[in-house]
Amino acid sequence: MDRVKNVAVIGAGVIGGGWIARLILNGINVEVCDHSESAQTNVDKSISNAKRAYEQLFSAELPDIGSLSFCSSVEEACRIAEVVIEAIPESLESKQSLFSEIESNTHKDTIIASSTSGILPSDLQLKMKRPGRLIVAHPFNPVYLLPLVELVAGNKTDKLVVDRSTEFFKSIGMFPLTVNKEIPAFIADRLLESVWREALWLVNDNVATTQQIDDAIRFGFGLRWAQMGLFETYRLAGGEAGMRHFISQFGPCLEWPWTHLVDVPEFTEELVNKIASQSDEQSSMYSFDELVRKRDDNLVDFISSLKDNNWGAGTTLKEHEKRLTEKAKSVLFEDRDFTKAIQTYSNTVPQKWVDYNGHMNESRYLECFSWATDNFMQIIGADSEYIKSGSSFFTVETHIRHLDEVHVGECVNVTTQLISVSGKKMQIFHRLFHEDGRLLATGEHMLLHVNLTTRSTSEPSKVITYRAESILDLHRMLPHPEGLGRSIGNKY
């Protein structure tokens, strides 16, 4: 499937707004149709929250932001869409009517994806002329951060649509989970509903408050579920003997009358008031927007840690960052402008980079330069594939000058100037700038080319040498950076 460039989103509530934010921050142009007065505000908030989260989450450079347009009709929104995402309230009749309208205003190959959290896709297809292109793509809030999207095909969904949908959602950093067969509420919501049902009984019977139930989840099994899910968690509970031992030990407990899995308390006014008042008291110290930011910050840190450990949701982030890097690398070397210092890194300073003084910690200056060096290596061809071939550059000496402060939420960028290339040696000079143009720091680095098998210095490949020397020919025309050679040992 060719890269999708244009998507229509019908409905701009919490889920629709999350879709829009994820899409445009992944470089996709979005046409929106939602006639509610709050639509623009909802979308603006979602995009703002997503930007804030992505600035902390991604180390790879995101593509240029996609365009966003609000349309007066479904027809206008769908006119050039390659994918249409429906995110209106859960009403079968409303969705069926909308799909008929979408069908008449889109190309026959346009994928139509419903965000329904439980309606069967075969029911959604009943009144469609081309039901084969409809699929359920059920996301989870916040859509811009949580990678899971459940893909559910109806009995008339084309296999090619499932494949194309899988590829599309992967391209925007999601984890598409194809459900084997249609079932109301699919997989995740059925699991959530069973926990929700039991929680209602615990509150109804005065066994626990809303906060006690949330604490039981977030301080206990929720942490295990977030990284291993249900079955792998219980596999470990069985010890080295595994799942079979766990079932033999704890399986009989399922016959005990612990839960109300097929029953639910009546939603009396008294129960509703109890749940609402307890929930209000539990969260009274935070505004809604503060809770959203805290949720996103925690998710960013957790997913980032999982990425470092190459586990769970972190693998999806890692794969998406790899795609983004490969996409940036795909710009032909010959098409780049090397007549000036090369833009090699940009980021917004996240909260975790700040120390007790309120400004960016000194170690993060080196981190910025490290990413800049990695990106420069990508440009000259010393990338992951080159490393797999058995060669790489190692930094053997670094000199950093800390010149100014930068604070949380402020944007920084690095430019890189190639100073010298001589056989196995390479010398580069980074400048870290504030968004207002202030020079924050400089980093001077000496690198050696190394054979990874022998761990000794070696000559770079002819391609690497050609690219480096081509850049150097142009960078020799640039003024020498102030402070160059102060510690590296070269005098200019």
pLDDT digits (tens, 9 = 90+) for 235-251: 888 888 888 877 787 66
Amino acid 253: pLDDT: 67
Lowest mean pLDDT across 262-271, 288-297, 404-413: 262-271
Nearest CA-CA partner of 165 in 180, 177, 183, 147: 177
pLDDT band at 267 (very low <50, low <70, confident <90, very high): confident
Q: Are 418 and 382 in contact (CB under 8 A)?
A: no
Neighbours of 116 (CB within 10 A): 25
Q: Are 413 and 357 in contact (CB under 8 A)?
A: no
Q: Which tokens is 364 given?
A: 């993060």
Amino acid 235: pLDDT: 85
Q: Within 13 A of 124's CA, how many CA atoms are on the CB side?
A: 30
Amino acid 490: pLDDT: 61
Nearest CA-CA partner of 168 in 11, 326, 323, 330: 323
pLDDT in tens, 124-183: 999 999 999 999 999 999 999 999 999 999 999 999 999 999 999 999 999 999 999 999
- Alpha helices, DSSP H, located in 261-399: 269-282, 288-308, 313-329, 362-380, 384-388
pLDDT band at 492 (very low <50, low <70, confident <90, very high): low
Residue 303 has pLDDT above 80, yes or no: yes
Amino acid 254: pLDDT: 65
Residue 252 has pLDDT above 80, yes or no: no
Amino acid 491: pLDDT: 61
Strands 425-434 and 411-422: antiparallel
Q: Are 398 and 366 in contact (CB under 8 A)?
A: yes
Residue 82 has pLDDT above 70, yes or no: yes
Residue 489 has pLDDT above 60, yes or no: no
More confident residue, 358 or 25: 25
Amino acid 61: pLDDT: 82
Q: Which tokens is 121 given?
A: 């896709």
Residue 26 has pLDDT above 90, yes or no: yes
Nearest CA-CA partner of 168 in 85, 101, 78: 85
Amino acid 117: pLDDT: 95
More confident residue, 407 or 352: 407
Nearest CA-CA partner of 378 in 307, 424, 324: 324
DSSP class of residue 233 equals H
Looking up tokens 């040696």 gives: 425
- Put simply, whether the predicted model's pTM sits higher than 0.95 gets the answer no
CATH numbers and ranges of domains, the chain:
6-178 (3.40.50.720), 188-285 (1.10.1040.10), 331-475 (3.10.129.10)
Q: Are 444 and 424 in contact (CB under 8 A)?
A: no
pLDDT in tens, 29-72: 999 999 999 999 999 999 999 999 998 898 888 899 999 999 99
Buried b (16+ CB within 10 A) or exposed e, 388-426: eeebbbeeeebbbbeeeebeeeeebbbbbbbbbbeeeeb
Looking up tokens 């959530």 gives: 192
Mean pLDDT of all residues in the chain?
Answer: 92
Handedness of CA 91, 94, 99, 100 (dihedral sign): positive
Euclidean distance between the first and final Cα of the chain, in Å? Answer: 53
Q: Are 406 and 349 in contact (CB under 8 A)?
A: yes
What's the one-letter identity of residue 123?
Answer: D
Nearest CA-CA partner of 178 in 233, 228, 135: 135
Length of the chain: 492
Amino acid 55: pLDDT: 87
Q: What is the mean pLDDT of residues 327-349?
A: 86
Looking up tokens 């005990």 gives: 256
Residue 259 has pLDDT above 70, yes or no: yes
Under DSSP, is residue 420 helix (H, G, I), strand (E, B) or coil? strand
Q: What's the rounded Cα separation, in Å, for the pair 482 and 346?
A: 22
Q: Which tokens is 340 given?
A: 């000036």
pLDDT in tens, 175-208: 999 999 999 999 999 999 999 999 999 999 999 9
What's the one-letter identity of residue 356?
Answer: Y
**What is the C-alpha R_g of the chain?**
27
DSSP class of residue 409 equals T
What is the 3-state composition of the chain as percent helix, strand, coil, each rounded to the nearest 5? Answer: 45, 20, 35
Q: Which tokens is 77 given?
A: 């929104």
Q: What's the rounded Cα separation, in Å, for the pair 454 and 437?
A: 44
Q: Exposed, middle or buried by CB within 10 Å (0-12, 13-18, 19+), for 265?
A: middle
Q: What's the rounded Cα separation, in Å, for the pair 432 and 424?
A: 26
pLDDT band at 234 (very low <50, low <70, confident <90, very high): confident
Q: What's the rounded Cα separation, in Å, for the pair 173 and 278?
A: 36
Percent of the chain with pLDDT over 70: 97
